[in-house]
């Protein structure tokens, strides 16, 4: 956090030809809310690593390497420390000299965000909407696991009204399933739900995924000084309360036009176009592989995609069938440990975990549902296409490549994936080998296991097909990867992946998608003003 903030401050000073104090104040003014710069103690001649070690916001543990993002200074780190603090005696820095930097590197310290941290801790623990007055697991509030993640509730005072349920008495008097279709046709006295949706194969979509499925994204303009502005940071509170995820634009449950580049195309949108009765029937129950929230001196670690299933909102007797996509494409091989291979999921454990999850789903999903198991990605694509490119932090001075970033994160043991984000080719290959083994476990489950309430299908993660399609469109492979973290699929990759998944389903498992509703145009004509997300 410190290295990131100091890098941005120093580059702001350079870009605007200002003092460091003025750059700190400029950054403060960009951030929503009110913040105060107490003092500063940054020399523009020193890189961020030196400054942060000098302020004691970074440290070197005994027996551990010295972690640095930038090339080491030509003189020793000790000599640089002397320049800052003097070496005639004890190392002294006024405590509040570091507070401005520490404040920026702790999101919970931002005035506009500090009151949100308790709420965010709640939703991270429970994967449920923070504002849900009737307890049906759906909300009228967008973030904090609200309707960005699940279809929007249309009555948050009635637990029997929510997206995805079968209509109550054909919704003669009110909209019980929030798809915007209710009332009676005055011409013939037939309820609209019965006329348009009876026998229409209505179904929802549920994603059980990791940070890729949640659509993790840090806007590059937050750390690219040539693009920084008040407008660039305007979405910070929303992004923070969505855990830096953007499920509303994601591959499986996206429903809003993308504001983070690319375009939105999702399995949900295609199911809705196929059958307008599916409106709002979506749930994105995904979790970042490891998320840390800091509030004062308390740290909360949430590891791996576990217990996601228990926040699933589906009533076996009252609700429509659904398509469940199980897509933890990297969590089982990705960790930040130095001995990363020892911390990867084994094939035996994978089999046990997935079978346990499927048995649980069989107790929750309505008959006629479908489960799609998605294989793990081959993450060698990341190093191959990014390692020698400049990271947003390094674009101004051409001094930080993704290779340097990966090395820095590995040194700190906070890498999102030590096995793939490394210069060690043998380790990258071993990680992909384990990923393939785990994918084969999923494939075998789909082939051999049977459940009473759903059938199972398997598909490889379509990275190769996505890259080929993007190349045909004139794009470059690196554009399929999130620029800031150098790890997650970008918005472009998400949209292209949807198209590939849909075509596979149409040709190989058409029963999963349901039939086209011949009344779609009539529904839109009658309810054009009632179906907003």
CA distance 327 to 286: 9
The DSSP string of 435-472 is: HHHHHHHHHHHHHH---SSEEEEEE---HHHHHHHHHH
Cα separation, 19 vs 42, whole angstroms: 10
Adjacent-strand bridge partners of 190: none
Coil, strand or helix at 248: helix
**344: Cα within 13 Å, side-chain hemisphere:** 25
Q: Which member of 7, 105, 211, 286 is catalytic?
A: 211
Measured in whole angstroms, the distance separating CA 311 from the mean position of its chain's CA atoms is 17
- Joined tokens for residue 371: 């489960």
114: burial class by Cβ within 10 Å (0-12, 13-18, 19+)? middle
Token pair 């506009």: residue = 112
d(CA 338, CA 277): 50
Among 128, 124, 196, 201, CA closest to 162: 128
DSSP annotation of 382: H
The residue count of the chain comes to: 533
Nearest Cα residue to 107 out of 122, 95, 120? 120
Per-residue tokens: 44: 């523009």
Exposed, middle or buried by CB within 10 Å (0-12, 13-18, 19+), for 440? middle
Beta bridge partners of 371: 324, 456
Catalytic site includes residue 211: yes
Cα gap 336→409, rounded to integer Å: 8
The Cα diameter of the chain in Å comes to: 94
Q: CA dist 118 to 32, 35, 296, Å? A: 19, 20, 12
CB atoms under 10 Å from CB of 4, counted, come to 18
Active-site positions read 211
């Amino acid at each position: 956090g410190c290295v990131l903030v100091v890098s941005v401050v120093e580059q702001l000073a350079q870009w605007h030809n200002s003092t460091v104090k003025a750059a700190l104040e400029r950054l403060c003014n960009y951030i929503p809310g009110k913040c105060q710069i107490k003092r500063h103690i940054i020399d523009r001649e020193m890189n961020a690593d030196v400054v942060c070690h000098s302020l004691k916001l970074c440290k070197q543990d005994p027996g551990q390497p010295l972690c640095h993002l930038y090339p080491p200074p030509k003189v020793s780190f000790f000599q640089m420390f002397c320049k800052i603090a003097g070496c005639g005696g004890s190392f002294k820095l006024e405590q509040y000299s570091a507070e401005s930097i520490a404040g920026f590197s702790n999101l919970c310290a931002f005035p506009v965000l500090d009151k949100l941290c308790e709420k965010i801790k709640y939703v991270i623990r429970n994967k449920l909407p923070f504002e849900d007055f009737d307890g049906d697991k759906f909300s009228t509030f967008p973030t904090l696991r609200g309707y960005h993640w699940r279809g929007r509730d249309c009555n948050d005072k009635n637990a029997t009204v929510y997206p995805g349920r079968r209509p109550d008495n054909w919704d003669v008097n009110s909209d019980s399933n929030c798809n915007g279709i209710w009332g009676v046709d005055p011409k013939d006295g037939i309820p609209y739900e019965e006329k348009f949706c009876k026998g229409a194969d209505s179904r929802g979509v549920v994603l059980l995924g990791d940070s890729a499925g949640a659509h993790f994204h840090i806007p590059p303009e937050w750390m690219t000084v040539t693009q920084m502005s008040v407008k660039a940071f305007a979405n910070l509170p929303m992004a923070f309360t969505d855990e830096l995820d953007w499920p509303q634009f994601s591959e499986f449950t996206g429903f809003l036009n993308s504001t983070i580049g690319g375009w939105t195309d999702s399995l949900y949108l295609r199911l809705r176009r196929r059958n307008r009765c599916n409106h709002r029937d979506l749930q994105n129950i995904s979790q970042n592989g490891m998320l840390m929230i800091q509030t004062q001196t308390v740290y909360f670690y949430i590891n791996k995609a576990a217990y996601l299933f228990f926040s699933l909102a589906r009533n076996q007797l009252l609700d429509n069938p659904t398509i469940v996509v199980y897509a933890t494409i990297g969590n089982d091989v990705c960790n930040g440990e130095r001995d990363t291979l020892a911390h990867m999921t084994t094939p035996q454990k994978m089999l046990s975990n997935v079978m346990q999850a499927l048995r649980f789903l069989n107790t929750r999903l309505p008959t006629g549902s479908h489960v799609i198991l998605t294989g793990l990605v081959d993450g060698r694509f990341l190093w191959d296409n990014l390692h020698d490119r400049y990271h947003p932090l390094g674009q101004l001075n051409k001094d930080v490549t993704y290779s340097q970033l990966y090395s820095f994160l590995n040194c700190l043991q906070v890498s999102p994936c030590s096995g793939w984000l490394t210069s060690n080719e043998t380790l990258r290959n071993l990680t992909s080998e384990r990923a393939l083994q785990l994918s084969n476990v999923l494939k075998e489950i789909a082939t051999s296991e049977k459940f009473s309430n759903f059938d199972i299908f398997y598909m490889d993660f379509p990275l190769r097909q996505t890259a080929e399609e993007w190349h045909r469109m004139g794009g470059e492979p690196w554009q399929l990867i999130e620029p800031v973290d150098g790890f997650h699929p970008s918005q472009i990759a998400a949209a292209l992946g949807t198209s590939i998944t849909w075509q596979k389903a149409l040709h190989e498992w058409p029963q999963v998608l349901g039939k086209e509703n011949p009344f779609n145009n009539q529904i839109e004509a009658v309810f054009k003003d009632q179906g907003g997300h």
